[in-house]
Amino acid sequence: MPYRVERNPDLCKKNFGRPGCCWYLCDDRDEKICGRCFSCLNNCPHGVYELIQGDPYPLNQEKCVGCRICLEMCPNRAIEVNAIPEDARQGWGFQDIVEIVRQSQTASYKLRSTGALRRIPDFDDLVVIPAQVSRPPIDKYREPCGTDVVLGDRFAENPLKIDTPIMIGAMSFGALSKEAKMALAIGSSLAGTVTNTGEGGMLPEERELADKLIAQYASGRFGVSADYLKKGDAIEIKIGQGAKSGMGGHLLGEKVTAEVSRIRNIPEGSDALSPARHMDIVGPEDLSMKISQLREITDWKVPIMVKFASGKVASDVKIAAKGGADIIVVDGMQGGTGAGPEVIMEHSGIPSVASIVEADMALKEIGLRDQVSLVAAGGVRSGADLAKAIALGADAVYIATAALISIGCRVCQMCYTGTCRKGIATQDLSLRHRLDYKEMGKNVANYIKTMTDEACMLVQQAGNTHITKLEKENLRSLTLEASALTGVPMAGVGRI
């Protein structure tokens, strides 16, 4: 992405004429190197900086993705990162050229983290319309707004009962550090919601700290046993994820340390590339048989969820619902990941707003909408996104990238290298020490609670008293694209 990175040498050396001073950020105090800061050089995930005659300079500016970790970690605030306008020559943007050059030199496709980064119609294209006198608004300060939801009460004896419809989505131990998993577990408990193991097995610490925990059952079957499934408060069959639609999980060998290899039972240093599909789920009847199999193992106690990457949403959702799923998750193309090929992230899948509407409609068509819960995922960032997702037809949402940002992630898109400067997506002990999981757990809870509050404001000003009561009629579209994708009428006279 086009960014200009500047390091001000005067600010850098404002103390004692030497660069920075690492005494309060230092992981590894060493008197011999004390006085040589290089925090920007050491912490840039993309190799923007190089050392020239003892000073770090931001030489490789084309590599900058704008994460601003260098700026955040500079003790003297000597760095500025500014976006500059896209330089495109009839579609031949500077980034396209950089990528072609990179491919021609390395003969490899681009792997990265996060998800689709290009402009995709999303929740921002929709607005919630206010109640005035045709219907009255509800008072935020003096009147209550309900936020509790029950998910998966179709067949399960013990459905998921949560205080807010914001759940933390699947991110595995392996992709994330133990500290990050613990922070998310603490945060979900404080906020009265549920978190998810991801596909890398269940950490004992995570089970201990999370009041409610979804055990994911993905195609690699890492860490899966009867015991694992029985410890979950729900089981999520991961058919696919929005970021890497049609592919399995990727955990590259750099992050498969001894502890990760033990919990997944794979060789240390090997790539855990989960199969693109469950080896035993190739068609709809297989999914239905898988749901029955997992129910037999868990004695019909907990909800069975099925998570899809959004593609042929209506068909997939109908199959899962008919196959006996309690909860269905549709993950739009904005969904995130720790590692995957860029071409899949940017060019496969459909936007979250479109998939929610299609899934809701599909459940209505087969008469199971009131029995099956629908969870939306992919690109949810705020209370506004939550409110709009629910209005479009979801019963709850997953947040994942957003939850990581609340504990320090700056979306540098390099999770797969295992060198996360924030101690989140790494197994390196010295980096993991940077993450104070107790404090960060509180951050997660603060963020979820605030999002819920924000959503309530939109719900109440629209004239509703419970977050789940918001409906599609409460929305208007600001763009033709979003209107055509969702069927939400354009603001004004409502023409599409």
Catalog residues that contact other proteins under the rule CB under 8 A.
111, 219-221, 224-227, 229-230, 252-254, 264-267, 269-271, 273, 275, 279-280, 282-285, 288-289, 292-293, 295-300, 312, 315, 318-319, 322
Rounded Cα distance between 215 and 200, Å, is: 10
Q: Mapping DSSP to helix (H, G, I), strand (E, B) and coil, where does residue 296 land?
A: helix
Q: Mapping DSSP to helix (H, G, I), strand (E, B) and coil, where does residue 68 land?
A: coil
**Taking the complex as a whole, how short is the minimal distance between the CB of residue 228 and other proteins, in angstroms?**
9
**Taking the complex as a whole, how short is the minimal distance between the CB of residue 252 and other proteins, in angstroms?**
6
**Taking the complex as a whole, how short is the minimal distance between the CB of residue 284 and other proteins, in angstroms?**
5
Cβ contacts of 3 within 8 Å, gap of 6 or more: 61, 64, 65, 66, 81, 82, 83, 84
Residue 47 or 267: the one with the smaller Cβ distance to other proteins is 267
**Taking the complex as a whole, how short is the minimal distance between the CB of residue 279 and other proteins, in angstroms?**
5
Rounded Cα distance between 193 and 211, Å, is: 8
Q: Mapping DSSP to helix (H, G, I), strand (E, B) and coil, where does residue 129 land?
A: coil
Rounded Cα distance between 12 and 55, Å, is: 10
Residue 250 or 421: the one with the smaller Cβ distance to other proteins is 250
Residue 295 or 449: the one with the smaller Cβ distance to other proteins is 295
Residue 299 or 370: the one with the smaller Cβ distance to other proteins is 299
The one-letter code for the residue type at 332 is G
**Taking the complex as a whole, how short is the minimal distance between the CB of residue 60 and other proteins, in angstroms?**
23
**Taking the complex as a whole, how short is the minimal distance between the CB of residue 481 and other proteins, in angstroms?**
25
Q: CB 256: neighbour CB atoms within 10 A? A: 22
Rounded Cα distance between 269 and 19, Å, is: 37
Residue 111 or 491: the one with the smaller Cβ distance to other proteins is 111
Rounded Cα distance between 155 and 305, Å, is: 11
Residue 217 or 437: the one with the smaller Cβ distance to other proteins is 217
**Taking the complex as a whole, how short is the minimal distance between the CB of residue 153 and other proteins, in angstroms?**
19
With b for 16 or more beta-carbon neighbours within 10 A and e for fewer, the 2-41 pattern comes to bbebebeeeebbbeeeebbbbeeeeeeeeeeeeeebbbbb
Residue 289 or 457: the one with the smaller Cβ distance to other proteins is 289
Rounded Cα distance between 406 and 408, Å, is: 6
Rounded Cα distance between 389 and 454, Å, is: 13
**Taking the complex as a whole, how short is the minimal distance between the CB of residue 369 and other proteins, in angstroms?**
17
Find the DSSP H helices in 160-312.
Answer: 178-190, 204-209, 226-231, 258-264, 284-297
Residue 95 or 419: the one with the smaller Cβ distance to other proteins is 419
Task: Name the residue with tokens 């459940």.
Answer: 363
Residue 137 or 311: the one with the smaller Cβ distance to other proteins is 311
Cβ contacts of 449 within 8 Å, gap of 6 or more: 164, 191
Helix (H) or strand (E) holding 12: helix 9-12
DSSP code of 58?
Answer: E
**Taking the complex as a whole, how short is the minimal distance between the CB of residue 426 and other proteins, in angstroms?**
17
